[in-house]
Amino acid sequence: MILPAIFGASIIASVLWEAFETVVLPRRVSRRFRVTRFVYRSMWLPWRAIARLNKKPKSRETFLSYFGPLSILVLFAIWAVSIIFGFALLYYSSANQDSTHPTFETCFYLSGTTMFTLGLGDVIPHNWFERFLVVAESGLGFGFLALVLSYLPVIYQAFSRREVNIVLLDARAGSPPTAAELLRRHAGPAGADALEQLLRDWERSSAEILESHISYASVC
């Protein structure tokens, strides 16, 4: 049963690499197909269609604002289920072909309890390779939890920096900001120098916002 093992190992490797590119790697990934991009696009289209059914602008904007936080949780859930499914295939392929051969459902249950380090003990490994998989998946479960906990503060900080810049812009250009109001408030003797410094600061802030929003799609 080599095919389930190859398929399971491919799923685990793909998810781990996807998580690395999405969470750990702080820059844009240029390859064409990514699971994260596919998840966000497939979720955003129906979410946007449902929002358009709401005729009240404020309610529609509130509904759209839920997409970012919810999409992060859905992405984490997809990663976790994919890893559990991949290890379940490895357990299933390594089991002996005899009368006690477990079903795939049992292997999936063993993988889930191991991934979340429950340690119930009602299903146990029977050979050295399964024991190795249990240890590896338990360590991966702890690492996955640490990855999730470290990812959320990064997302919050990126969002917070963007909101601070918007608040500062309101003080210079009105609310909502307009170019005419920005020029009017810098019409004094030192207004040109202050406006030049403001635009220089916003050039750097815009680059930081672009970098964070490209690297972390959920902020967008």
Mean per-residue pLDDT, 127-155: 83
Q: What are phi and psi of 29, to 5 degrees?
A: -100, 125
CA-CA distance, 185 to 191, in Å (whole number)? 8
The answer to whether the predicted template modeling score (pTM) of the entire model surpasses 0.75 is no
Identify the pLDDT of residue 217: 61
Identify the pLDDT of residue 1: 67
Q: What is the pLDDT of residues 50-76, one digit of tens each?
A: 999 888 888 888 888 888 778 888 888
Identify the pLDDT of residue 29: 61
In percent, the amount of the chain with pLDDT more than 70 equals 88
Q: What is the DSSP string of the chain?
A: -HHHHHHHHHHHHHHHHHHIIIII--S----S--HHHHHHHHHHHHHHHHHHT---HHHHHHHHHTHHHHHHHHHHHHHHHHHHHHHHHHHHHHS-SSTTPPPHHHHHHHHHHHHTT----SS---SHHHHHHHHHHHHHHHHHHHHHHHHHHHHHHHHHHHHHHHHHHHHHHTTTT-HHHHHHHT-STTHHHHHHHHHHHHHHHHHHHHHHHHH-GGG-
Identify the pLDDT of residue 187: 83
Lowest mean pLDDT of 31-35, 112-116, 173-177, name the range. Answer: 31-35
Identify the pLDDT of residue 149: 78
**Residue 39 above 90 pLDDT?**
no
In percent, the amount of the chain with pLDDT more than 90 equals 9
**Residue 84 above 90 pLDDT?**
yes
**Residue 216 above 80 pLDDT?**
no
Q: What is the pLDDT of residues 159-196, one digit of tens each?
A: 777 777 777 788 788 877 888 888 888 887 888 888 88
